[in-house]
Chains A and B, each alone.
Chain A
Amino acid sequence: MSEQPVFSQCFEIRGRDFANAGRVSTTVKSILKEIGMAPALVRRAAIAAYEAEMNVVLHADRGFLELKVSPGRVQVTVVDQGQGIGDIELAMREGYSTASDEAREMGFGAGMGLPNIRKNADEFEIESDVGRGTRLDFRIRV
């Protein structure tokens, strides 16, 4: 089998930068459209990437999102330097959130972020180190 081409790009996400929140996932979406991914896949990837981006904005100081696109799959990895998640099982529950009051006033922090990523991805992994940061990774098959 010949080697598959891979497009990859890395984006920085700044914590608490609400004014620019959502830009990275918007760019991810337009890249997938340019490549010609099916609308349903683009939508799932865009929603999952948006939730992952918002997690960094809400809970971390800084993070990076890496997008990797190959003919067979779309992979997104988000690594942040932040508070980390103590109990991942609890964090995965719908409606559970530790977002600040400020964030909630802006309409964020409904506790649907991680469940939404899992719902839209085919494969989803998350690992976290309290006080240091979180790394999550999801893949969607083409």
Chain B
Amino acid sequence: MRRFSHSVRITAGKCRGRMACMRACPTEAIRVRRGKASLLEDRCIDCGECVRACPHGAIVAATAHMEDLSRFRYKIALPSPALFGQFPEEIPPEAVLASLLRVGFDEACEPTAACDAVARAVGEYLNKHPGPWPLISPFCPTVVRLVQARYPSLAERLIPIDSPMEIAAREIRERRARQLGLAPHQIGIISLTPCPPQMVAVKYPPRKKSSNIDAVVAISEIFEPALRVLSSTKLAVPAGGLSGTGLGWAVLGGQLEALSAESCLAVGGLDHVERILGDAEDGKLAKVRYLECQACAQGCCGGSLTVENPYVARTRILKLAERCGAPRQPRQFGDGGGFQQTLLLPGKLTARPLAPLDEDISVAISKRTRIAELLHGLPKIDCGACGSPTCRSFAEDVVLGRAVIDDCDVLIARRSRRHLDAAASSKHPATTVGARVRERSP
């Protein structure tokens, strides 16, 4: 099995062991040992909460930087719709696109028409699907990884339709290569992303061999230069043509808006997503047909690589979407042989469930019993001082050999207090304690 590459990097030199990342991690994938954070790789789902939480910038998204793009002859920026919610309201999306030409790109295109095409394909897929329900949206890469790792039985419910960014990238590459007489590989399609996991989705695209996107740059990286251009230069802004329904994909529920399918449900924020997936797994959501799940509470506009407050960004997107309206003529993608066929992904999506406590079920049961016993003796205050996020995960770490019981400072403090109390109640308290201290000092 291939090792999973992650979209976040911890720089040990910058890490001061403050544990903010460990506490923020929704899958308990971070441990802090000897003052440095480290990742339990198979547990990480690339949500980027640690990037957001680190006060020292020690955890960064492993996205590309502008200077890494020089290998491409012709660079096309393909921003996520979330980009348009980052700028002040008076700046229209068309101006944002124009500004990208001044910060290092040769062209800028946008994926809203592809969003609409994908929404239609999803609607068609839902109509043809005989069950079981609900089907789950595959467009948030963190949710896809969460399902693979923690809800493996739901992996087959992720709809096998390619993402709008991939479809838009494929179309623009074919068109430009023809027009400019370049080989397809000389064209670089650079996705401007609101979140780290987009990078993993490009490196290891689910259900296919390679992505149509060549590199991924964080929205936060191009935001400042773009804003500087926008506030200092008068740009020639071409006429619009963005689809409002497509823009809506940047906010939670946007997929449903464009879908107009009945009995759909949009859920944002990993805690709520986990609960709803748990219900779906138990068959409690059989009346829901489509589940739009987003790791970020407000959807992509609030990703960890964005700059604006997610609620402000959300409001802007909704206003922009209303101003743009639904497209008068939906654009077709692919060869016209029915859009669903060309947008469908043939490959299988495999589950990659978290490893159990042990491959041998008897040993796993014994280990689970040992965890429960250990937990019983722990303070259960989840202080995190041991370097595990909860007393429960600490007990597991001890049983799996990732920690030793003496890493629990609270137990040690209690033990030494008992010694002190015992010493205090004996006849010569001062001597006893004093002797102990002297023994230790050099």
Cross-interface CB contact of B361 among A26, A29, A42, A142, cutoff 8 Å: A142
* Complexed CA–CA distance, A34 and B375 (Å): 16
Question: Which residues from B are CB-within-8-Å of A33?
Answer: 150, 353-354, 356
Contact call B368/A31, Cβ cutoff below 8 A = yes
Shortest distance from the beta carbon of B30 to any chain A beta carbon, whole Å: 19
A46 at the interface (CB under 8 A from B): yes
**Listed stretches A2-10, A78-86, A93-101; interface member:** A2-10
Question: Which residues from A are CB-within-8-Å of B357?
Answer: 34-36
Question: Which residues from B are CB-within-8-Å of A47?
Answer: 282-283
Q: Which residue of B lies closest to A35 (CB)?
A: B364
Task: Write the A31-43 contact mask toward B (1 if CB under 8 angstroms, else 0).
Answer: 1011111011011
9 new A-B pairs (CB below 8 Å) besides A36-B359, A70-B365?
A5-B362, A5-B365, A5-B366, A7-B369, A29-B278, A34-B357, A36-B357, A39-B152, A46-B282
Q: Could you list 7 examples of A-B contacts with CB < 8 Å?
A: A33-B150, A33-B356, A35-B365, A39-B152, A40-B153, A46-B281, A69-B368
A131 at the interface (CB under 8 A from B): no
A138 at the interface (CB under 8 A from B): no
Cross-interface CB contact of B356 among A8, A9, A34, cutoff 8 Å: A34
Contact call A4/B362, Cβ cutoff below 8 A = yes
Q: Which residue of B lies closest to A39 (CB)?
A: B153
The A-contacting residues of B in range 341-364, CB under 8 angstroms, are 353-354, 356-359, 361-362, 364
* Complexed CA–CA distance, A35 and B150 (Å): 13
Shortest distance from the beta carbon of B278 to any chain A beta carbon, whole Å: 6
- Please provide the 10 A-B residue pairs with the shortest distance between their CB atoms, ordered closest to farther: A36-B356, A39-B153, A5-B365, A5-B366, A35-B364, A7-B365, A71-B362, A7-B368, A7-B369, A71-B361
With A35-B356, A47-B283 in contact, is A6–B365 under 8 Å at CB?
yes
Q: Which residue of B lies closest to A36 (CB)?
A: B356
Number of interface residues of B (CB under 8 A): 22
Tell me the B residues contacting A by CB distance below 8 Å.
150, 152-153, 278, 281-284, 353-354, 356-359, 361-362, 364-366, 368-369, 372
With A71-B361, A142-B361 in contact, is A34–B278 under 8 Å at CB?
no
With A43-B153, A71-B362 in contact, is A26–B368 under 8 Å at CB?
no
Contact call B369/A5, Cβ cutoff below 8 A = yes
Q: Which residue of A lies closest to B358 (CB)?
A: A36
Q: Which residue of B lies closest to A40 (CB)?
A: B153
Question: Which residues from A are CB-within-8-Å of B368?
Answer: 7, 31, 34-35, 69
Shortest distance from the beta carbon of A6 to any chain B beta carbon, whole Å: 7
The B-contacting residues of A in range 62-120, CB under 8 angstroms, are 69-71
Contact call A36/B282, Cβ cutoff below 8 A = no
Question: Which residues from B are CB-within-8-Å of A40?
Answer: 153
* Complexed CA–CA distance, A5 and B362 (Å): 6
* Complexed CA–CA distance, A35 and B148 (Å): 17
